Structures are given as structure tokens and as C-alpha cells.
Structure 1
């Protein structure tokens, strides 16, 4: 039996990620509704851009959940809260100001959840930090959205109370706050904000980086239990990654990457799977365990170099941005299905 790094801390982070994904879906629904209700062009334009960001960030959160490798359901209390807020948003009990106020609270919750996950990951493991790296983009944009929502709330609140427009200097203050925020945390952004989602190269590279980190952590450890756990995570991650590539990516690239080069990728992964099974049968405390890991690492390294050089170049030259992002979505869906099946 393969023992992976599914301890309580990692499972707790997985649940928090599931919470964020569920709340993200509600944020998108809210913003779609606001666009139907709001007549103010400037406010509508800001919500339209916010909606664009949030749809993209839903894809980023899906990537992080799959990359993390531990599937979880949202907390019951979060699900109940979301259902109550959704009812209020769809009803007539709240004014537009009150609905946007509730929306800003949800944004605040996303910000704090994202920052908490980031800080927790620093305590749990380097591989977790690698897996959640794209979350930095979501955290940054949610902080920026909060500043915009404060401006929107000020305008809507003044109108609701007085029937008049608020000071037009509001948006200037909002922009200043966003600029200051960008100066503080902008360097943490790992993904260009004008992309609609991560492309297939981004997603595969994330997998590669995480695997390399796990190899490094395993080889640096002298604790047989930890070594076994790191190998278990490598086994799970490489297996899911390989099957998803073979189901989704390789058939798609074969026509322009070439039958011979594509077959070489299949063959390399077959060798990798064979080595994984061989290592699984070896005692982690034995002297040959790490030798076999190093050999596997060499095989995986060669495979990664081929994918990230020639295959990625072929994808860039033959697929549009939309096609590459669509392929990423299909890859993530396949990988999640494989992970869920393996967890049963």
C-alpha cells in the first residue's frame, strides 16, 4: 500500500480550498445578477471586469485543487452559509447596497482564506507551497476587488440615503489604494491578469515543479517514514499526471508534434510507471531505495525536458490561446477524475 502525505494538516488545507472554490462560484453568480440590476455604466463596467477576473480565478482555483492532489468537500457550515446568501441575493428583502455589502463580505472571506492557506502551506511542506502557487493571483485580485467594492458601496450607500451622487473623488481614492496594494503584493502575482485561464503548458509545468520538489525533499530526508510518505505522494502525482496526459494531451498533439516523438513520450511514461511499481516493493529504509529514486528522477527529468522544450514549442506554434486553455481544462478534469478514482 502506498502511504502519501494526506495528514490532517493537508486535509484541512484541501477543505479550505474546496470552500474557496464554492464561494468563488457564488461570487460569479452575484456579479452576473448585479449586471442585470445596475444601470450605472461606470459601476456596471467595474462589475463586468470583476466578473471576468472571477471567472478566470475559478479556473485557477480548479487548477490549484487538482494540483494539490487531495480532494475534499466544502465545510458544512460554509455550504449552509452560501445557500442562505444565495437566497438573499435572489430575493427582494435586501436593497442593492445591502446585496453588494454581502458580496464584499464574501470577497473578504476569500481574501482571508487565501492568505491563511498560503501561510499554512509554509508550515506544512514545500510541495504544498508549489501546488498552491497560482493562488497568489487570486489573492491579489480579490484584494483589488475589495477596494473597488468599497468605492461602489460608498456610491450606492449615498444614493440610497440621499438620492444624490457621492463625491466623484471616490474612484481616485480607489485607484490610489489599488496602486498601493500592487506595490506591496504585486510581485507575488504568478499569472498575467489578462489571461482567461491557465494554458496547458502552465498546468503541466506546475505538475513538473511539484514532482521535482518532492524528489528533492525525499532525497534530503533520512526518516524512513517521511521517505515512504514522499514516495507515496510522488507515486500518486506521477500516476495521475501520466494517465491524464495519455488520455488528453498526447492524442491532441500527435498530429503536429509527430507520431514518433509522441510515441517516445508514451514509452518514457511506461518506463516511469514500471519503475514506480518496482520502487513501491522496496523497503524505504534499504540502501537501494534512494538509488532507485535517483534513477527514476533521471528518467522523469529527461521526460520533463522533452515536454517543456519541444512539445511546449509545438503547442505554442500550433494551438491558439483558447485551444491551449481548453486543453488545460480537459487535462485538469481528467486528472481530477483519476485522483478521485484512486482515492476510493
Structure 2
């Protein structure tokens, strides 16, 4: 069987996430430019805060893409659009008002992309919903940014038409609108991570939760195509996770976790890879396949219990917050490199 199979729905979501990343960088570039071009201190302050949010959200988006585990390039039309907007933003064809207007449209596009991914994930699978969960934070903040940009546009538009300042009460209305949004969506958003610099325990725990969800989905269906798809994702996720841990986490924890316990984690993952390859060789329609999957699930469960109890405790007792966040960054980077390598080998990314 093909262990790295991606169905069309999962691949489509991966492409939409890649589109969002390209667009997120454009939003950041625009806001950096606006800070240079704006002469109004209050407007600059709003763009400065917006820029801080968008830079943080780029980190969250990177985490979502790595956690999702399916790689794609952005659509060609999106990259062409980004190139066109960049030229307009750096050129003299548009005045400041028109540039901010285009920026608000880009924010709207980003909001709709995020919401579309969220709705599509509900149809594709619980593991996808779990992987893209932090995207809710980006969706909410982009929607709040839209309200702020409407306020900026009103101020700039009145100045352009009359040469006079608009009623500054507009900023109060913007804050009221943002408060209403927070009341509508805040409870859902705050349940997800709202920071880009998660610690290593957060990221490992997210991987564990996702793979357990995939096991549940696989064992609950008798559709051979779905079984193959779920196993393909389990296979890739566990392989990428184990490689990243062995490159980043285990060498870091060995001095204070101990040679014996650390080596046990290495050995467990080596055995898991053997079990995965054994399952890969079994026809998914055979009763033996699910028996092998249950064996893998049990082995993964034992491994998870050791990591989340004794290894996590050792990390908490021996590493500072900054060190656990740095480890998370390296872990995420190692996963990303391995995912891109797999995608190139499978022909998903040229």
C-alpha cells in the first residue's frame, strides 16, 4: 500500500494554508511600509499593533501547517496577485488611502480563507480540526483588524475629501465593534493557543492528540479508502515526529533525563517504525491490518505515557521557559524540513 497517500480534500486544505502563508507575509510587508508612510501618530500606533499581531500570527500559521502535516505550494494565481500588490504598494500609482483600502481587502480575503479552512476541516476529519485549531486565533484577530482598518479608512477618506480631520469618535465605534466580535467569538478563540512561541511540551502533546484521533478514525471505519488515507497520515506523522524528536528533543534531555530512560525512548521509536512498515505491507482489507494497527496504537500509547509523565516532568524541572520555547522552535523546524523532504519525494512539491 502507499503509505504517504493524501486524499484530494486534505491536499486542497494544504494548498489553502500555503495561500494563507503567502498572503500573511504580504500583510506584514504592507504594515511595515505603512509605518514609514503614515504621518498620523494614532494611525501609526494602530498599524504597529496590527504588525505585532500579524508577525505573531505568522508563527501560529507555521505551527498549523507543520501540525497539519500535508505540504503544498500556494496557487499560482495567489503568488501572481501578491506580486502585483507588492508593486502597487511600493509604487506611486496609489495614494495612502488607496493602499490602505487594498490592505483591508486583503484582510477580508485572509479572514474568508481561514473560515473556509475551518468549515472544510469539519467535513474532512477530527484530526484535521485538531491540527488547524490554532487558526481560530488568526481568524478572530484578522476580523478585528478589519474593523480597525475601516476606522483608518474613514479618517483618511475624510481628510482626502475635505482637508479636515474626521470626528475622532470613530475610534470609539471601532472599539465597540471589536468588543462585540470578542463577545461573539472570544470564548471559542481563547480555548486555542494565542501565541506563536509554544513550548516543546505543547507541540509534542498536539502531535500525540492528533495521532490518537487518527487511530480512532481508522478503527471506526470499514471503508478501505478511508483506512488507507488515515494510515497514510499516521505513518507520515509518526515518522516525522520521531525524526524531529531524535534530532532535537532526546539529545537535549539526555543530560538530565538520563542515558537509560532516553535510550528507551529511542528504542521504542525504532520498534514503532518496524511495526509501521509491517502494517504497510498488509492489505488494508485484511482483518490482520486492524490487528496490527491496534498493536501500533498500544505501543504509541506506552510511548506517550512515558514522554508526557516523566520526560515532561524532567523538562519542567530542568529547563527555563525560554529554553522550552527554543526547543519547540527547533522541533517545528525539524518537522517542517522532514515534511518538505517527503513532499518532494512524493512529487507533491517540486
TM range (shorter): over 0.9
Q: Give the stretch that moved more between structures: 24-33 or 255-264.
A: 255-264
1:1-344 matches, cutoff 5 A:
1-189=1-189, 190-193=191-194, 195-343=195-343, 344=345
| CA shift for structure 1 position 278 | 1.6
4+ residue segments displaced more than 6 Å: none
Contact 2:7 2:229 in 1 (8 A): no
Contact 1:3 1:232 in 2 (8 A): yes
Contact 2:5 2:228 in 1 (8 A): no
Residues 183 and 235 of structure 1, relative CA distance in 2, 3 Å threshold: same
Q: Secondary structure of the equivalent of 1:35?
A: helix
Which string of whole-angstrom CA distances, capped at 9 and with x for unpartnered residues, describes residues 237-285 of structure 1?
1001110111112222223333333222212211211111121122222
Residues 147 and 5 of structure 1, relative CA distance in 2, 3 Å threshold: farther
Contact 1:257 1:311 in 2 (8 A): yes
**Unmatched runs of 5 consecutive residues or more in structure 1:** none
Which string of whole-angstrom CA distances, capped at 9 and with x for unpartnered residues, describes residues 65-95 of structure 1?
1122211111111111100101111112211
Contact 1:137 1:188 in 2 (8 A): no
Between the two proteins, the alignment pairs up a number of residues equal to 343
TM-score normalised by L of structure 2: 0.92
**Unmatched runs of 5 consecutive residues or more in structure 2:** 346-350
Residues 312 and 48 of structure 1, relative CA distance in 2, 3 Å threshold: farther
| CA shift for structure 1 position 181 | 0.6
| CA shift for structure 1 position 192 | 4.9
What is the Cα-based RMSD across aligned positions, in Å?
Answer: 1.7
CA distance in 2, matches of 1:120, 1:170: 36
Contact 1:101 1:153 in 2 (8 A): yes
TM-score normalised by L of structure 1: 0.94
Which string of whole-angstrom CA distances, capped at 9 and with x for unpartnered residues, describes residues 113-169 of structure 1?
000111111112222111111111111111111111111111122222222221121
